[in-house]
Structure 1
Amino acid sequence: MWVERLLIENIRSFERQDISFSQHRNGPYRWVTLLGENGGGKSTLLQALGLLLAGPEGAQTLLPRPVGWVRDESTPGQLQIRVREGDRDPGRLGKKTAPRSFTYGLNVTGRERLVIKKQVYTEPTLVEEPSRALSWLRDIAFPSQGAGWFAAGYGAFRRLTRSSQLLVPSLEPQARYTNFITQFNEDEPLATFERWVVYLDYIIAKHPQSARQHRRQLDQGIAAINRMLPEGTRFDSVSGEGRILFDVQGRKVSTLAMSDGYRSVLALAGDLVWRLIQAFPGSANPLQEQGVALIDELDIHLHPRWQRHIAGWLREQFPGLQFIVATHSPFVAAGAGEDALTLRLMLENGATHVEKVETPAALSVDRILQSEAFGQLSPYSPETTERIERYDALARKSRKRSASEERELAELRAFIQKARPVGGPPEPGSLEAKLDAYIERTLQPEGRG
């Protein structure tokens, strides 16, 4: 299952935007990167998708009183989604079906509960009797618990709990809306990973008759998590006190003592692994099943080295998922790959506009920042940019420069050499290319043309 289209109208900064997540003939984009400045609408777009993918009852639980959501409260806001079903019908597990699409929406009012909009289904219809459409949607596609179309959403403040996890007698599947709870409650920690690992370790030790099944689940999850951690960091064990220990460069460290970067990756990957295993209990490899994952500010807490690889890691470990993520990092934008869809959200005159931009997979970080993806942002600090432009103005001066200007130019020239790009040749016509030309010309020995 994946998202083909989102319509968002009269919601916060969105007047009306109809956004496609599909390629022309090759199906969905499996990775969608959302770029844009703070306040441009990235989180709102992801929350809108979260409400729709949580299902009608889940949406009402996540946002019972959507105050501040409607842009013009004289008319309801609208959220509408078209979802493409893959080759498995959630109502008949294991049975292959032809791909098909469905559309449904929510009306959003400013002071009342969310109102479920009349369901609209594309052909072929998912149910033979149209009067059963809403019940089919609730019971089969988006059930409160159990099998259905898989989706999960993660807000920007995802993190592990700071308290030690006690052993629990069971770890029952949670209601569907909890798949998206961190998008709407930033104080909610992602404790599932720790509880899940501790619980399975306990069951394996205390109930040998069911150890094989639980060992397989635990091994699958740990293997996926290990592959997403930097070299030299691996899962080690669960202590007698119920603490999860990792081997970090030969030293055993509990999750409570790990950095925010490690904890952010563990929280996201661990939660996603557990929810996939719960959603597809009969699957030989739940991590390869289809679904949608929404992630806000994927780069948060991550060192640039991790930012370069995080998209590739996620795509490799969860190949059946469609990722729709927001980021401020050029490393994440580039690491998504050439087959990703990159959308830039721009706030103009109080309204958000969404436009497709070229995916910057082949560009250096400097060139990504100066591309349309990041709005031609200078890779230099404001002070350095100002000094570069002053150097440009003095170097171009047609009349003779004064003695003070010559001294200033000499000082700037020494500074400019530090600002020269490292690596390959700069892009023709870029600021770096002009700097190179100026430096090459002005540093030539006397008598050379």
Structure 2
Amino acid sequence: MWVEEISLDNIKCFEKQTIKLGTKKEPYPWINLLGENGTGKSTILQALSLLLAGPEGAAQLLKPDGWLKDNFKPGKMTIVLHQGLNDPGQYGNEKKERKMFRYTFYVTGSEKLTINNKTFTEPIITEDTNSRVIPWLRENALLPKGKGWFGAGYGAFRRLTRANRILVPSLQTPLRYTNFFTQFREDQALEAFETWMVYLDYRISKSDDSIAKKQKEWGIKAINKLLPEGNSFDSIDGNGRIWFKVQGSKVSTVALSDGFRSVLALAGDLIWRLIEAFPLSDDPLNEEGVVLIDELDIHLHPTWQRTIAGLLRQTFPGMQFIMATHSPLIAAGSGEDAVTYRFYRKDNNTIVEEIKNIHALSVDKILQSEAFGLISPFSPETQNKLDRYFQLKKKKTLNNSEQTELDLAIPLVREALGELPNENSLDFKVQEFLMDKLNDKNK
């Protein structure tokens, strides 16, 4: 399964917006959503989750109070979804088999609204009852428990539990809507990784279970790929504690840093859900699906931010990743074929625009580009002094006070820029241009 596009109409900060997430033939493998807080990135991810969870799952995840931009007309969330190679079900006959599905969920609010001749008086998410494909999707794709048609979403507060795991008799197949729980429940810990790994270890020790061995191998393989160099899975002890090698020392999951725990929680949960969705697969890590991640950069050191997108893509090559981030390092490291959108507010509405070729830029240049709204890489105090330096350099004549101010600024400019820029150099003209753009933005 993969997503070609999503459209929102009268949803939160979006008046009307369509975002392309693939072509008609293939998905964009990695999509970055950039923008300041409050511009709607999480809304897009949550809307995708509701649509991928199915009508019943959406109702379990959220009662959409406050989701309408205008309370006097219904909101619409529309998705274009494609069936993957290993997703079961056939829509149509052999000559006219359909693999692409467009469907809509409507959202109501506190005001009385009518949709498809049915009146609603409270906030609710409801399917388009005129749709011909939703009934088929409900029975073949958007099942509470089903195979294939994989999707999972992770909110910014994903984490492992701080409690030690104990052995459990089994892990139930997850209900579809729970794949997206952490996007709507900040208090929801991702416990599947620890519980699952301990249970597999138990099965292996008791009966030398070959299936459990294979699944444990997949889990360890994926986790080790995502961890920074010098860190890896170590063992599970008799008390059900999972240990890792961290730069030569053994550390249990309870004592790991928040960065490690965030990645382990996401990756471990994803592996377990993939195995449940593709139980007959030779390698579930290679299966297709959609993964939504809000604030991937949270808790991660810049060195890990720089590589995490590439590591996720290598570990789960069949996944379509759609993620929000505030990190230029993640945006730059997501690959030449990644697609990046910038979200920004204008006239009480959110505008979304594509940013090209971000992978080729340095972090400084990404911050100073339209991708991050022309943010200076310097502190406000240093940027103000640089601006003043360039203002003075542009003047044809300086009085004594201005000349003294310019002379005093030279050491800081040399330290900040590496050398004093020549007035005819490209660097000087670029700095002047950026200064003018930043000043225009702040007017």
The TM-score normalised by the length of structure 2 is 0.89
- Equivalent runs, 1:92-241 vs 2, <5 Å: 100-110=99-109, 111-118=122-129, 120=131, 130=132, 133-208=133-208, 211-241=209-239
What letter is aligned with 2:106? N
**Equivalent in the alignment of 2:412:** 415
Contact 1:369/1:379 (<8 A) preserved: yes
Give a deviation string over 1:320-363, Cα, whole Å, max 9, x none: 11000000100111111111111111111211111111131011
Contact 1:107/1:116 (<8 A) preserved: yes
Structure 2 unaligned regions, length at least 5: 110-121, 420-424, 436-443
Contact 2:34/2:326 (<8 A) preserved: yes
Displacement, 1:430?
A: 1.5
% identity of equivalent residues: 54
Give a deviation string over 1:286-324, Cα, whole Å, max 9, x none: 010010000000111011101111110011010111000
**Equivalent in the alignment of 1:447:** none
Q: 3-state DSSP class of the match of 1:38? A: coil
In the aligned structure 2, how far is the partner of 1:279 from the partner of 1:330?
33
**Equivalent in the alignment of 2:270:** 272
**Equivalent in the alignment of 2:43:** 44
RMSD of aligned residue pairs (Cα, Å): 2.1
Change (3 A) 1:261 1:327: same
In the aligned structure 2, how far is the partner of 1:278 from the partner of 1:190?
16
What letter is aligned with 2:311? W
Displacement, 1:18?
A: 1.5
- Equivalent runs, 1:368-407 vs 2, <5 Å: 368-402=366-400, 404-407=401-404
**Equivalent in the alignment of 2:112:** none
Q: Confirm whether residue 79 of structure 1 aligns to residue 77 of structure 2.
A: yes
- Equivalent runs, 1:295-374 vs 2, <5 Å: 295-374=293-372
**Equivalent in the alignment of 1:126:** none
Structure 1 unaligned regions, length at least 5: 121-129, 436-449
Displacement, 1:87?
A: 2.3
What letter is aligned with 2:128? K
Give a deviation string over 1:162-198, Cα, whole Å, max 9, x none: 1111211101111111000000001101111111111
Q: 3-state DSSP class of the match of 1:10? A: strand
Q: 3-state DSSP class of the match of 2:100? A: strand
Change (3 A) 1:421 1:160: farther
Change (3 A) 1:165 1:15: same
Contact 2:32/2:324 (<8 A) preserved: yes
What letter is aligned with 1:172? Q
Contact 1:104/1:119 (<8 A) preserved: no
What letter is aligned with 2:89? G
In the aligned structure 1, how far is the partner of 2:353 from the partner of 2:98?
28
In the aligned structure 1, how far is the partner of 2:256 from the partner of 2:167?
21
Displacement, 1:426?
A: 7.2
Give a deviation string over 1:368-389, Cα, whole Å, max 9, x none: 1111111121111111110001
Change (3 A) 1:119 1:80: farther
What letter is aligned with 1:420? L
Contact 2:390/2:432 (<8 A) preserved: no
Give a deviation string over 1:392-413, Cα, whole Å, max 9, x none: 12223322430x4333222210
2:242 to 233, 237, 244: 244
**Equivalent in the alignment of 1:5:** 5
**Equivalent in the alignment of 2:429:** 429
Displacement, 1:90?
A: 1.7
The TM-score normalised by the length of structure 1 is 0.88
Worse overlay, 177-186 or 345-354: 345-354
Give a deviation string over 1:225-262, Cα, whole Å, max 9, x none: 10110111110011111111001122110011011111
Contact 1:3/1:81 (<8 A) preserved: yes
Contact 1:197/1:218 (<8 A) preserved: yes
Displacement, 1:200?
A: 0.6
What letter is aligned with 1:307? Q
In the aligned structure 1, how far is the partner of 2:33 from the partner of 2:105?
23
In the aligned structure 2, how far is the partner of 1:312 from the partner of 1:134?
35
Contact 1:426/1:433 (<8 A) preserved: no
Q: 3-state DSSP class of the match of 2:276? A: helix
Q: 3-state DSSP class of the match of 1:361? A: helix
In the aligned structure 2, how far is the partner of 1:421 from the partner of 1:186?
44
In the aligned structure 2, how far is the partner of 1:191 from the partner of 1:276?
15
Change (3 A) 1:399 1:359: closer
Change (3 A) 1:411 1:250: same
Q: 3-state DSSP class of the match of 1:223? A: helix
Q: 3-state DSSP class of the match of 2:359? A: coil
Change (3 A) 1:109 1:400: closer
Contact 1:340/1:359 (<8 A) preserved: no
Worse overlay, 411-420 or 425-434: 425-434
Change (3 A) 1:99 1:233: farther
In the aligned structure 1, how far is the partner of 2:373 from the partner of 2:134?
43
Displacement, 1:434?
A: 10
What letter is aligned with 1:44? T
Displacement, 1:433?
A: 10
Displacement, 1:271?
A: 0.8
**Equivalent in the alignment of 1:59:** 58
What letter is aligned with 2:257? S
